[in-house]
Amino acid sequence: KQNLPTYTVEEVSQHTEQSTGIWVTYKEGVYDVTNFVNEHPGGEQILIAAGSSVEPFWMLYAVHKNPHVYELLESFRIGNL
């Protein structure tokens, strides 16, 4: 996405808790899900991906393979990898 900052994997990996913000990646996108964690239908399981990619976990939980989930994810976008 244009006009959004670029982050490194290293920077993303430092955002794993409420105090730093909770970031995840999906493909080239970086997402701040800090405020979504408590609303996640899958509960705290989302935290397993904190600071890294959700892709391996979404492969296991196909419930995410749905347009409405990708739309929600894009609403949290803060940058690019």
Region near ligand HEM per CB under 6 A, out of 2-10, 12-20, 69-77: 69-77
Residue 72 is a binding residue for ligand HEM (CB under 6 A): yes
Q: What is the DSSP string of 18-70?
A: TTTEEEEEETTEEEE-TTTGGG-TTGGGGGGGTTSBSHHHHHH-GGG-SHHHH
Among 4, 9, 59, 69, binds ligand HEM (CB under 6 A): 69
Q: In the bound complex, what is the minimum distance in angstroms from residue 8's beta carbon to ligand HEM?
A: 19
Bridge-based pairing state of the strands 29-32 and 16-17: unpaired
Q: Which residues bind ligand HEM (CB under 6 A)?
A: 24, 31, 33, 40-42, 45-46, 48-49, 54, 57, 61, 63-64, 66, 69, 72-73
